[in-house]
Amino acid sequence: MKVNTTRTALLLILSLTVIVQTTLALNDDFNSAVKLIERFYGVKHMEIPFLAKAGMKVITTAARVKGGTARRLAEAGSAKVAIFEDQSFDGDIMKFRTTLNDTLTASWSPIVQTLSTPNREQCYIFVRNNGDKFNVLVITIDPGDATVVQVTLSAKNLALLMKDPDGMGKAITDEATVVDQ
Give the tens place of pLDDT for each residue, 54-63. 444 444 444 4
pLDDT value of position 86: 92
- Is the pLDDT reported for residue 155 higher than 70? yes
pLDDT value of position 89: 94
Other beta carbons within 10 angstroms of residue 136's beta carbon come to: 27
**First CA to last CA across the chain, in angstroms?**
70
Q: How confident is the model at residue 173 (pLDDT cuts 50, 70, 90)?
A: low
Q: For 86-102, give the DSSP string.
A: S----S-HHHHHHHHHH
pLDDT value of position 156: 83
Within a domain: residue 17?
A: no
Within a domain: residue 8?
A: no
Within a domain: residue 3?
A: no
In percent, the amount of the chain with pLDDT more than 90 equals 38
**Triad 31, 37, 40: Cα angle to 5°:** 130
pTM (2 decimals)? 0.69
Closest CA to 126 of 94, 102, 143: 102
Do the beta carbons of residue 59 and residue 52 sit within 8 Å?
no
Give the tens place of pLDDT for each residue, 106-132. 999 999 899 887 888 999 999 999 888
Ramachandran category for residue 77: left, alpha or beta (phi over 0 → left; psi -120 to 50 → alpha): left
Within a domain: residue 7?
A: no
Give the tens place of pLDDT for each residue, 3-49. 444 444 333 343 333 333 334 344 579 999 999 999 999 999 987 65
Within a domain: residue 6?
A: no
Q: Which domain range does residue 98 map to?
A: 28-177
pLDDT value of position 15: 39
In the predicted model, what is the mean pLDDT of residues 163-171? 65
> What is the distance between the alpha carbons of residues 53 and 33, in angstroms, rounded to a whole number?
20
Other beta carbons within 10 angstroms of residue 147's beta carbon come to: 22
Give the tens place of pLDDT for each residue, 51-100. 444 444 444 444 444 555 555 554 555 778 899 999 999 899 999 999 99
pLDDT value of position 121: 92
The number of folded domains in the chain is: 1
pLDDT value of position 39: 96
